[in-house]
Amino acid sequence: SLLPATAVAHPNIALVKYWGKRDEHLMLPCADSVSMTLDVYPTTTTVQLRPDATNDVVIMDGRFLRGESSQRVTRFLDLVRTQADSRDRVLVDSRNTAPVGVGLASSSAGFAALALAASKAFQLSLDHRALSRLARRGSGSAARSVFGGFVHWHAGTDYAPDPDFASYAEPVTDTRLDLALLAVLLDTAPKPVSSREAMRRTMTTSPAFHRWLAATRTDTALMRGALRAGDVQAVGEIAERNAMGMHAAMEAAVPPVVYRTSASHHVLRQVRRLRAAGERMWATMDAGPNVKVLCLPGDAARLADQLRRLSHRPVLVARSGPGATLHRGE
Ligand code: DP6
């Protein structure tokens, strides 16, 4: 069938971060990570087969992709073609609702939506785990956006018969904790370094990387326990420590990988100050300058207002969101 397939996926925020690949080709991470899928900025992607065409066409937000970014999509589609035993080229039309530079658009929603739409267009019947493994090959964090709510991505092991099979995400079901995420939108400047290159550099040159990695391996178990216990303070403390340790490790690389700006540090200080005054809020950051804050949903509106007043920047409020889904009626 040549029916187009359309899928929607949301970005996720890591509570225990993924930073470092032990295999760049298979996209196998150095450690497990834990995230929350968000309810903002979905990516909607349609994939349509073009059996007689000689190349893939990729449209993102209404523009044709060329060069490296379209090659990344084509290489990903090659994995789908191999699984489907097909040589058909496709048209990919992808739309993200996030404003540029929000630092949440990310590849996580993009490759989760593409994995689902492409596997459907090629009539692969993948279960959630296989879909997560496929999305992982596009971008590591996309393995987690296949699922909604809290998600645990397993690094897997090289001792497994096929390490590719052992690294997938799955939902964390043994928690009833509900969190909100506030994002203080500081800057729209493009990333100074891609996360792939930044990870490589951190792993190979930062003396702090191995300590962070060892702590991260413990943090996943601690985070799972804190989620199970519904202990928001423990969740927040583990998340903040893990994220700050990741940035410290990056900043100790040679040359340094620096995503935190003076504006980021300013907001981080305000978060610590409000917390000292009794607020329950904890910071996390990814490969960009924006500071994100974890808190309880009942505190979100008030804390967002405080952060707006203190930072004079827009603050986005997000909640827990759904996993990737196919659109009906394609
Ligand atoms: C800091 O998944 O974007 O957001 O696998 O190279 O595509 P690639 O990287 P990506 O890295 C995400 C890094 C992070 C932490 C996280 O989401 O766990």
pLDDT at 101 > cutoff 80: no
Contact 184, 271 (CB under 8 A): no
The verdict on the CB of residue 220 being under 6 Å from ligand 1 is: no
- Nearest ligand 1 atom, CA 27: 5
DSSP 210: H
Lowest mean pLDDT among 157-171, 202-216, 233-247: 157-171
Residue nearest to atom 14 of ligand 1 (CA): 286
Predicted pLDDT at 100: 62
State CA 120 to chain mean position distance: 22
- Rounded to the nearest angstrom, the distance between the alpha carbon of 18 and the centre of ligand 1 is 6
The verdict on the CB of residue 107 being under 6 Å from ligand 1 is: yes
Kind plus residue range of the DSSP H or E element containing 46: strand 43-50
The verdict on the CB of residue 14 being under 6 Å from ligand 1 is: yes
Q: Cα angle vertex 193, ends 188, 140, to 5°?
A: 95
Q: Residue 116: what residue type?
A: L
- Rounded to the nearest angstrom, the distance between the alpha carbon of 51 and the centre of ligand 1 is 33
- pLDDT, the chain, mean: 95
Residue-wise pLDDT tens digits, 155-191:
999 988 899 999 999 999 999 999 999 999 997 666 6
pLDDT at 68 > cutoff 90: no
pLDDT band at 59 (very low <50, low <70, confident <90, very high): very high
Predicted pLDDT at 111: 97
- Rounded to the nearest angstrom, the distance between the alpha carbon of 29 and the centre of ligand 1 is 10
- Rounded to the nearest angstrom, the distance between the alpha carbon of 54 and the centre of ligand 1 is 32
Average pLDDT on 265-269 reads 98
Ligand 1 mutation pick, 18, 108, 193, 257, max ligand atoms within 8 A of CB: 18
Q: Is the dihedral of CA 136, 141, 142, 144 positive or negative?
A: positive
- Rounded to the nearest angstrom, the distance between the alpha carbon of 195 and the centre of ligand 1 is 6
Q: Cα angle vertex 205, ends 202, 206, to 5°?
A: 60
Predicted pLDDT at 160: 80
Q: Residue 38: what residue type?
A: L
pLDDT band at 234 (very low <50, low <70, confident <90, very high): very high
pLDDT at 1 > cutoff 90: no
Q: Is the dihedral of CA 51, 57, 60, 64 positive or negative?
A: negative
pLDDT band at 153 (very low <50, low <70, confident <90, very high): very high
Predicted pLDDT at 106: 74
pLDDT at 329 > cutoff 80: no
Q: Please, how many CA atoms are within 13 Å of residue 31, restricted to the half-sphere of its CB?
A: 25
The verdict on the CB of residue 152 being under 6 Å from ligand 1 is: no
Report the predicted TM-score, pTM, of the whole model to 2 decimal places: 0.96
